[in-house]
Amino acid sequence: MARRLAPRGGEWIDRNRPLEFSFEGKKHTGFAGDTISSALWASGRRLLGRSFKYHRPRGVFSFADHDVNVMVQDRALLNIRADVTPLEGGQKLKAVNTVGGLKMDLGQVNNRLARFLPVGFYYKSFHKPAKLFPYYERLIRSAAGLGSVTPGEGRRHWGKGYGFADVLVVGAGPSGLAAASAAGEAGAKVVLVDENARPGGTLTYAENASGGADGMLADLLERIENNPNVDFRADTVASAHFEEHWVPLVHREHGMTKLRAGSVVVAGGAMEQPAVFRNNDMPGVMLGSAAQRLIHRYAVKPFDRGVVLAANSDAYGVVLDLLKAGVEVAAVADLRHEGEQSELGDAVREAGVRVHTGHCVYEAKAAKKGAGVGGAVIAPLDVQNNAVPSRAFEVGCDGICMSVGWAANAALLAQSGCRLGYSEDLHQFVPAELADGIFAAGRVNGVYRAEDKVRDGERAGTLAARHVGKGGAADAPAEAPRHAGPAPSHPYPVYDHPEGMAFVDLDEDVQLKDIKNSIQEGFDSIALVNRFATLGMGPSQGKHSNTNGIRIVARLMTKTIEETGTITSRPFFHPVPMGVLAGRSFHPARRTPMHRRHEERGAVFMRAGDWFRPEYYAAPGRGREEAILGEVRAVRRGVGLIDVGTLGKLEVAGPDALELVERICTGRFAKLKVGMTRYALMTDEAGTITDDGVCARLSDDHFYLTATTSGVDALYREMTRWVKVWGLDAEVTNYSNAFAAMNLAGPRSRGVLSVLTGLDLSEEAFPYLGVREGAVAGVPARVMRVGFVGELGYEVHVPADAGLHVWDAFTEAGEASGIRPFGVEAQRRLRLEKGHVIVGQDTDGLTNPWEANLGWAVKLDKPFFIGQRTLKILEKKGGEEEQRGGEDRRLIGQRTGDRKLAGFALLDGGEGPRPKECHLVIEDGEIIGRVTSIAHSEALGKVIGLAFLPADRTVGSRFQIRADGGALVDAEVVKVPFYDPDNSRQKGAGQREMTYQGGKA
Amino acid sequence: MKILNCPINGPRPVQEFVFGGELREMPDPDAATDAEWTDYVYNRNGSPGPRREWWYHLASGTWFIAERDTGTNDVKKTYLYGDEIRDEVEHG
């Protein structure tokens, strides 16, 4: 612990709790309360990281995570922000972005090649020739990115919570603490957050600056502690502002809290900004506030002999703090010709420190041994703020502190929609116009003196409480005076050097000359320079670079800062681990009443939306294919039972029930007899199929309508809207969850059902497509005789809580008939043999009824249904072409779209490669269609399927499907239905043809 | 995240709602020309500004109208479908 100072009052470390850790394989010891950066700097190490592009050595710089010089990895934890992450015992840390280790980093060669890597190098160099791009991509990808993923380490879960506050105060410095107490005292529930481990802000490290009186911090903290309305959260970053004061609070361990506030006080302070000069990125060059934090919070000596680059009073506070910590201050270079006229200035001069007014640090020189600074080249400035190198001199030192100015930490303000304006008095952006419910206080508001900050905080807190109706309605507290006297920031602390390496952005190694070159290349706005030169595009989002970047662009383009504009940092303001963003994800799971029984029968489940449905029932010693085949056979030869409880089930009742059904469905229902069902197809206004089901007429003004599992919510929603728009006297009720449903199918289904019901199941009394209400297994039930799978079948709907009972009753009653439960996969194959389409599988977001061979279900001659007008236009177009001679079959097809769902069979009998759903139909190298369903049919001894094909393909024409691996598989268009084309199995003899007829064409 | 004021249930987070598109009157399908009809079906006004929109509160199944400025995302007011029409009639 080479650089640890003697114990000092107010330090944040606990010297009784030493912590051992390793960095780059070497063991070190720090203390509880240290951050990783402070513990490493205390150990005497100066080389802590490598820069992104040139792999330059880097050390502590802002020590506030406003740069990413020190970014480390601890085993599976990537990209740890070492400046602000607490040290833990046992951490095994490594610097990211090195090739072969930090010391011998092979990437250093980029530093020597820097002049061959100009701005925009990657954009310009790696796009030609195109065939080499995959190689370039691999190269760039391995060079880009930080940290290395360790896939074997398992997933870490972060929590996700929700929070509420009347007033959220961001930042617990003097103004934030005052704002929180004022709002809390007014009766508002306050959440106060600060990204540091302790509250206090500048009062915890800059005791000489800005006039913070002794005891001020203690008083402020006491007010907070004594106020039950104030909930203070340390180590918590308010990382973005979204609509209606929705702010994600990120905590390293607890994850994310999504907090909704009534109003927000932004008291985020200001971020110290560097000067730009040659080698300003060397280890040992740091911000004044970084040195102060090292000293006061962590008792770490920043360096032994230092030079301070000054442009404000804060710099002189830094000098005094350094002296007190035992650092020799070799020189102060003050950018201002007039120097510092204050008590602090006097104190520094009295201490015997040499102050060079009107001088800059022109260059940092490397030490002869080890990494980092060995000297500072100090040059006088002419009246135009240009360095005069001919009169420069060198001062030996191992550290350079920069205190030249500040930038408002205004990211949340900007995100909330505040307008920022540039104050020429402060040389800083300050809020010019605040958004509703947003208040700013302290340095972000341009208020710098400690007493003024407290006043400003109290004002903002009072107004924020008042915004949510808390506190009295007395006169609004007066604005605190903004900073008076010399500006805390220098307007242009930028000093060019012919040999370059004067860095504006340390994250991305953006040099002053890169910005110049970008503008020369014609990128003439800050937003473009920002992107082309990657200024502010690194992980710290320009916290230490945007201000100087804007100044440089403004000067080069001879514009004012205000005209040049600002760069709004995007959410999230600080880098956040992906795991925190992901949190824990919760997916609703819906199970039918019979779910337990499916499990007992060995069901393998698949998800259908949120529902779990048995895909098939696994049988011991038999594979999936065999199990499914067994289920198919049971339905074709005996009897099977499938849980269809996930189906949508709607009731439509009331005097206008028929009218509503007619307007929603494409078919005609006026003449549907009570006690009968009819296929129901729904389209949207564009004539695209949205859903289908069965519509049963229970009485003159009472219909029962089924819909698809995934479509019913939208259908119900649209129906209730149309009821309002049309002013119909009809009620739609969604019974999807209230009813269980199962389909008993197969030649022996009637026998099984007859055991359990008194309903007359004879062909005459309960014909195909009939619906009956009566008791089944002692439970009131609706029974519909439908034929989706192409066999005699009954769909039985019962109240959900009786579902399991009825299922069990069927299983028992069917035992002698060999009843088997069957799953979704068997049902898909059975219906495919019948050529029945599944909406959403065999149709897509553009399919009209004719394309799906459902034209027979569309009645264009009835008064109205949704989509009818569009379908009439489509039909007319096809008809006109037909009248013109009907030669272009493709255009005739457009009556029904230029494609059509066609049945097909593979020619090879299924021995070769098997295409899958969504595989493409290829002709002469072009895509002409797509497979929507495919399966082996035992009944037919073939692989059959449905595919979208050009409308002119007739039965017998051949085509090729490209299967996995690129093999082209031959197929032939065949007639649909594939199986039992007369539908004799599902209906009684002599009944009228009422089901799918295979379409018009 | 946005908060929407359901006329029945009060202010709720926007994730409880489904957007139902702009409130647009369907032209008379029998009187409209093909061009008028296809314009209604396929074309939407994307320019920012005040709009009357359909919103649906999922948890309670409530359709209502929100007057929202699509440029600023400010919701001026929300009301049930019939109410505003009645207001317009009553207040001329």
Task: Give which of A242, A725, A728, A736 to mutate to test B binding, by max B Cβ within 10 Å.
Answer: A725
- Measured in whole angstroms, the distance separating CA A984 from the mean position of its chain's CA atoms is 54
CA–CA gap between residue A529 and residue A533 (Å, rounded): 6
Residues from chain B contacting residue A725 (CB–CB below 8 Å): 81
CB contact under 8 A, A724 and B38: no
> How sure is the predictor about A961, in pLDDT bands with cuts at 50, 70 and 90?
very high
Tokens coding A12: 């944040």
Confidence tier at A127 by pLDDT (50, 70, 90): low
Question: Cβ of B79 under 8 Å from any chain A Cβ?
Answer: no
List of residues 6+ apart from A318 with CB closer than 8 A: A288, A289, A291, A292, A308, A310, A401, A403
Is residue A885 domain-resident?
A: no
Q: What pLDDT was estimated at residue A152?
A: 79
Confidence check: pLDDT of A580 > 50 = yes
Name which of A246, A717, A864 is nearest B1 (Cβ-Cβ).
A246
Task: Identify which of A391, A360, A384, A390 has the alpha carbon closest to the alpha carbon of residue A277.
Answer: A360
Sign of CA dihedral A931, A933, A934, A938: negative
Which residues does chain B have within 8 Å of residue A870's beta carbon, measured at their own beta carbons? 37-38, 41
- Give the least confident one: A96-100, A177-181, A680-684, A877-881: A877-881
Q: Residue A474 falls within a domain, yes or no?
A: no
Q: Which residues of A touch B29 (CB under 8 A)?
A: 864, 868-869
Q: Are residues A628 and A762 in the same domain?
A: yes
pLDDT of A143: 63
For A717-744, what is each residue's pLDDT tens digit? 999 999 999 999 999 999 999 999 999 9
Let me know whether A394 and A511 are in one domain: no
User: What's residue A582's pLDDT?
Assistant: 87
Residues of chain B contacting residue A733, judged by C-beta atoms under 8 Å apart: none
Q: Which of A833, A865, A884 is the last residue of a domain?
A: A833
Question: A568: which 2 tokens?
Answer: 């709004």
**pLDDT tens, residue by residue, A235-276:** 999 999 999 999 999 998 899 999 999 999 999 999 999 999
What pLDDT, on the 0 to 100 scale, is given for residue A888? 45
| Residue A178, CA distances (Å) to A195, A219, A842 in order | 17, 10, 65
Among A168, A341, A330, A192, which Cα is nearest to A245's? A168
Structural domain contains residue A708: no
Please report, as a single letter, which amino acid is at residue A174: P
Task: Write out the two tokens for A572.
Answer: 């999230």
CATH classification at residue A531? 1.10.10.1100
Which of A132-146, A314-328, A341-355, A535-549 is predicted with the least confidence, judged by mean pLDDT? A132-146
Identify whether residues A278 and A254 lie together within a single domain: no
Residue type for position A530: N
Which of A244, A247, A256, A866 to probe the B interface (max B CBs under 10 A)?
A244
Is the CB of residue B61 less than 8 Å away from at least one CB of chain A? Answer: yes
Q: Are residues A790 and A922 in the same domain?
A: no
**In chain B, which ranges are continuous DSSP H helix?**
34-42, 81-90
The pLDDT of residue A984: 84
Are the beta carbons of B1 and A242 separated by less than 8 Å? yes
A420 within 8 A of A566, measured Cβ to Cβ? yes
Are A540 and A638 within one domain?
no
- Report how far apart, in Å, the C-alpha atoms of A865 and of each of A666, A684, A722, A999, B20 are: 6, 9, 11, 20, 19
The nearest alpha carbon in chain A to B38 belongs to A870
Joined together, the tokens standing for residue A998 give 């295979």
* Pick from A37-41, A125-129, B39-43: least confident: A125-129
Mutate to test the interface with A, among B2, B63, B80 (most CBs of A within 10 A): B63
For the CA atoms of chain A, what is the radius of gyration? 38
Domain ranges of chain B: 1-25
A372 and A511 together in one domain: no
- Does residue A806 sit in the same domain as residue A772? yes
DSSP code for A35: B
- Mean pLDDT highest for which of A240-244, A535-539, A574-578, A650-654? A650-654
Same domain assignment for residues A765 and A804:
yes
What's the rounded mean pLDDT across residues A404-413?
96
Residue-level length of chain A: 1001
Q: Which residues of A903-927 are buried (b: 16+ CB within 10 A; e: fewer)?
A: bbbbeeebeebbbeeebbbbeeeee
Task: Give this prediction's pTM.
Answer: 0.84
Residue of A nearest to B23 (CA): A725
Average confidence (pLDDT) over A963-992: 82
Asked if residue A266 and residue A193 are part of one domain, the reply reads yes
ipTM of model over 0.90: yes
Cα A156–A161–A162 angle (5° rounding)? Answer: 160
Is the CB of residue A854 less than 8 Å from the CB of residue A999? Answer: yes
Give the list of residues 6+ apart from residue A853 with CB closer than 8 angstroms, or none: A835, A837, A900, A901, A976, A996, A998, A999, A1000, A1001
Contacts of A718 (CB under 8 A, 6+ apart): A664
Return the bridge partners of A607, or none.
A612
Average pLDDT over residues A211-221: 80
Query: A327, A377, A316, A374: which is closest to A350 by C-alpha?
Result: A316
Question: What single-letter amino acid sits at A182?
Answer: A
User: How close does chain A come to B90, measured CA to CA in Å?
Assistant: 19
A49 residue type, one letter:
G
Burial of residue A350, with CB atoms counted within 10 A of its CB: 0-12 exposed, 13-18 middle, 19 or more buried: exposed
Can you tell me the mean pLDDT for B18-40?
95
| Residue that the structure tokens 């019939």 belong to | B82
Burial, A521: exposed, middle or buried (Cβ in 10 Å; 0-12, 13-18, 19+)? middle
pLDDT over 70 at A33, yes or no: yes
pLDDT value, residue B90: 55
pLDDT tier, A989 (very low <50, low <70, confident <90, very high otherwise): very low
Indicate whether A415 pLDDT > 50: yes
Tell me whether the omega of the peptide bond preceding residue A747 falls within 30 degrees of 0, making it cis: no
A703 with A894: CB under 8 angstroms? no
pLDDT tens, residue by residue, A689-715: 999 999 999 999 999 999 999 999 999
* B41 vs A244, A725, A870: nearest CB: A870
Same domain, A778 and A819: yes
The reply to whether residue B37 touches residue A873, judged by beta carbons under 8 angstroms, is yes
**Cβ neighbour number for residue A241 with a 10 Å cutoff:** 27
Least CB–CB distance from B73: residue in A243, A246, A724: A243
Residue A120: exposure state from Cβ atoms within 10 A (0-12, 13-18, ≥19):
middle
* Full DSSP string of A588-624: --B--TTHHHHHHTTEEEEEETTEEEEEEE--TT--H
Residue type, B57: H
More confident: A449 or A889: A449
* A720 with B63: Cβ contact below 8 A: yes
**Domain hosting residue A747, numbered range:** 595-645+738-833
Closest CA to A749 of A814, A821, A669: A814
In a domain, A562, yes or no: yes
Q: Nearest by CB to B29, which of A246, A725, A868? A: A868
* pLDDT confidence tier of residue A105, bands split at 50, 70 and 90: confident
Q: Do B56 and A717 touch (CB under 8 A)?
A: yes
Average pLDDT of the residues of chain A: 91
pLDDT at res. A890: 41
pLDDT at A215: 86
Nearest to A717 among B18, B34, B42 (CB): B18
Beta strands in A864-952 (DSSP E): 899-906, 920-923, 926-937, 942-950
Q: Which residue of A has its CA nearest to B30?
A: A869
pLDDT confidence bin for A109, thresholds 50/70/90: confident
The reply to whether residue B37 touches residue A724, judged by beta carbons under 8 angstroms, is no
CA atoms within 13 A on the CB side of A406: 28
pLDDT, residue B88, reads: 57
Rounded-to-integer distance, Cα A37 and Cα A24, Å: 14
In the predicted structure, residue A341 carries a pLDDT above the cut 60 = yes
**Chain A residue with Cα closest to B42:** A686
Q: Tell whether the model's pLDDT for residue A664 goes beyond 90.
A: yes
Pair A328, A278 in one domain: yes
pLDDT band at A911 (very low <50, low <70, confident <90, very high): confident
For residue A932, how far is the Cα from the chain centroid? 32
pLDDT single digits (tens) A145-180: 677 887 777 778 888 899 999 999 999 999 999 999
Smallest CA–CA distance from B60 into chain A, residue:
A717
pLDDT of A882: 59
Q: Which of residues 23-52 of B touch A (CB under 8 A)?
A: 26, 29, 32, 34, 37-38, 40-42
- Cα(A501)–Cα(B35) distance, rounded to whole angstroms? 65
Q: Classify the phi-psi angles of A671: left when phi > 0, otherwise alpha if psi is within -120 to 50, otherwise beta.
A: alpha
**Of A179-183, A470-474, A558-562, A808-812, where does mean pLDDT reach its minimum?**
A470-474
Structure-block tokens of residue A958:
């051949």
Task: State whether A412 and A491 are in the same domain.
Answer: no
Token output for A985: 């199995």
pLDDT for B82 equals: 83
Answer whether residue A866 is part of any domain.
no
Beta-carbon separation of A686 and B34 below 8 A? no
Which CATH number do you get for residue A190? Answer: 3.50.50.60
Q: Which helix (H) or strand (E) holds A974?
A: strand A968-974
Strand partners, A958: A972
What's the pLDDT score for residue A97?
A: 78
Q: Decide if A711 is inside a domain.
A: no
The predicted-structure confidence for A54-103, as pLDDT tens digits, reads as follows 889 999 999 999 999 999 999 888 889 999 999 999 999 999 877 777 77
Distance from the Cα of residue A168 to its chain's centroid: 24
Q: Tally the domains of chain A.
A: 6
Cβ-defined contact of A721 to B20 (cutoff 8 Å)? yes
Over its C-alpha atoms, chain B yields an Rg (Å, rounded) of 15
- H helices of A113-243, in order, are 121-125, 133-143, 174-185, 216-225
Q: How far is B73 from chain A (nearest CA, A)?
A: 9
Neighbours of A660 (CB within 10 A): 23
Of the listed ranges A102-106, A329-333, A587-591, A621-625, the one predicted with least confidence? A102-106
Residues of A in contact with B82 (CB under 8 A): 724
The CA–CA distances, whole Å, from A932 to A840, A857, A927, A995 equal: 10, 21, 14, 21
**Distance between CA atoms of A535 and A541, rounded to whole angstroms?**
8
